[in-house]
């Protein structure tokens, strides 16, 4: 109703009306033109408010059909995945890095399958350990597609982690991240200084550059590590 309704206020108003069951789940909202009239503002302002609410998972919008309240709102959680060096240094600790192993091999079958590369294509395989104040913090196992990133073959990963190197050198267009919990393998347990079978948080990250597989990384964190929404 305020003469100077901004898109933020419109978002709030819409959420209030949904909460008060004026627009219950599944029901249609008025059209943008009508809402602009109701709120005394331009249609573009309403459009931005509704577009953002749709993006946030509250509304469902379709041309011609209109805007409706989602039956159950999509519940999204956004995580910022920090560069491990920055995460450790931001906490006031000292970052350390060790390259554990490096070899060039034909892609194992599971990797070729999971990643969409020809079976037997050469990949660079690295295992690394990241330290926080000298204590094991994260174990990283990484596979780099040498067809897509040939320069990785001659890069020196003894001083700089593959993550940092890739961030600087290799662009990508698509990412897939997944989280899970696994029992520490013998090797991971040894590197993390935990008992074999201990519960460790696992992050897997795959990237592509315009359809070409770039890299796949699996990371295991020391016990107690959590990933939390927000910054």
Partner DNA sequence: GAGTGGTCTAGACCACGGT
Partner DNA sequence: CCGTGGTCTAGACCACTCC
Residues at the site binding DNA, with contacts judged by CB under 7 A? 4-8, 29, 31-33, 40-45, 47-48, 50-51, 54, 61-67
Q: CB 103 → a copy of itself: shortest distance, Å?
A: 27
Q: CB 226 → a copy of itself: shortest distance, Å?
A: 4
Residue 214: other Cβ atoms inside 10 A: 24
Decide: 216 and 133 in contact? Cβ < 8 Å.
no
Contact partners, residue 9, CB within 8 Å, separation at least 6: 2
Residue 108 or 172: the one with the smaller Cβ distance to a copy of itself is 172
The sign of the CA dihedral 53, 55, 56, 58 is positive
Q: CB 202 → a copy of itself: shortest distance, Å?
A: 7
Residue 105 or 151: the one with the smaller Cβ distance to a copy of itself is 151
Q: CB 13 → a copy of itself: shortest distance, Å?
A: 14
Residue 55 or 133: the one with the smaller Cβ distance to DNA is 55
Residues at the interface with a copy of itself (CB under 8 A): 19, 57, 72, 74-83, 86, 167, 171, 175-184, 197-202, 221, 224-230
Torsion of CA 86, 134, 127, 101, to 10 degrees: 130
**Secondary structure element (H or E) that encloses residue 156, with its range:** none
Residue 105 or 195: the one with the smaller Cβ distance to a copy of itself is 195
Q: CB 49 → DNA: shortest distance, Å?
A: 8
Task: Name which of 186, 190, 172, 177 is nearest 219 in CA terms.
Answer: 177
Q: CB 44 → a copy of itself: shortest distance, Å?
A: 9
Helix axes 32-39, 7-19, angle to 10 degrees: 100
Decide: 225 and 81 in contact? Cβ < 8 Å.
no
Q: Hunting for tokens 């627009």 — which residue is that?
A: 23
Rounded Cα distance between 212 and 172, Å, is 9
Residue 80 or 119: the one with the smaller Cβ distance to a copy of itself is 80
3-state secondary structure of 188: helix
26: partner contacted, choices a copy of itself, DNA, none (Cβ within 5-8 A by kind): none
225: partner contacted, choices a copy of itself, DNA, none (Cβ within 5-8 A by kind): a copy of itself
Residue 37 or 135: the one with the smaller Cβ distance to DNA is 37
């Amino acid at each position: 109703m305020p003469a100077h309704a901004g898109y933020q206020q419109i978002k709030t108003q819409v959420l209030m009306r949904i909460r008060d069951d004026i627009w219950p789940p599944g029901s249609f909202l008025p059209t943008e033109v009508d809402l602009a009239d109701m709120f005394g503002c331009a249609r573009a302002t309403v459009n931005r408010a509704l577009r953002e609410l749709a993006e946030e998972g509250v509304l469902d919008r379709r041309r011609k059909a209109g805007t409706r309240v989602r039956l159950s709102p999509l519940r999204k959680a956004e995580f910022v995945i920090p560069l491990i060096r920055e995460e450790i240094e931001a906490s006031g600790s000292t970052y350390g890095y060790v390259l554990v192993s490096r070899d060039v091999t034909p892609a194992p079958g599971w990797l070729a399958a999971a990643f969409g590369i020809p079976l037997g294509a050469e990949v660079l395989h690295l295992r690394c350990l990241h330290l926080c104040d000298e204590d094991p913090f994260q174990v990283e196992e990484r596979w780099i597609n040498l067809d897509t990133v040939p320069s990785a073959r001659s890069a020196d990963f003894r001083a700089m982690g593959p993550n940092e190197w890739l961030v600087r050198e290799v662009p990508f267009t698509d990412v897939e991240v997944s989280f899970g919990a696994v029992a520490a393998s013998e090797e991971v347990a040894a590197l993390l200084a935990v008992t074999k079978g201990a519960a460790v948080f696992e992050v897997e990250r795959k990237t592509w550059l315009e359809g070409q597989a770039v890299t796949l990384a699996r990371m295991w964190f020391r016990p107690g590590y959590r990933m939390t929404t927000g910054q």
